[in-house]
Amino acid sequence: MAGLQRSIKAEQRQVIKKFFRILDTAGTPSLTVGSTDGTITDNGVGDYTVTFSEPFERLMSVSAITETLNTIISVETANTDATKVTVLITAADGSTPDDASCFVEVTGSLAADEV
C-alpha cells in the first residue's frame, strides 16, 4: 500500500480567547489580568472600554462578571466590535452607574468568514 503522494493542507480557524480583569480602585480602573492584550479607557462611572492590542478578524462572544455583590454588568453591543469591548456596571437598581471590578472574557477568530 503506497503512502500519500502529496501533502494535504487545510486552512483552520484560529480561535482566540482573551481574559481581562478590570480592577477599579477609588474610581481609577486598571487591567491586572490581560494588560499585555489590551488597554483600558475610563469613560465615566461604571463605563469601561477595553481596546485589544491585536484586533480580532471576527468577534464571536463576550461575557463579563462583576466581583462585587449587588451590581449588574452588561456589555454595550453598540460599542463592541473586533477591536474593543465596552462594559457597563450599575448598582442593583439597574440604572445607577457603579465603579466596580470585573472579569471579561472575549472569544474571537483570526478568520473573518463564518464557519
Where are the chain's structural domains?
15-109
Q: In what order do the strands lie in the sheet with 28-33?
A: 28-33, 15-25, 102-109, 58-66
Residue 18 reports pLDDT greater than 80: yes
75 pairs with which residues across the strands? 87
| Amino acid 22: pLDDT | 95
Per-residue pLDDT of 41-52, as tens digits, reads 999 999 999 999
Average pLDDT over residues 10-33: 87
Reported pTM: 0.83
Euclidean distance between CA atoms 10 and 107, whole angstroms: 22
The highest-level CATH class for domain 15-109 is mainly beta
Euclidean distance between CA atoms 69 and 62, whole angstroms: 21
49 pairs with which residues across the strands? 41, 86
Euclidean distance between CA atoms 89 and 59, whole angstroms: 21
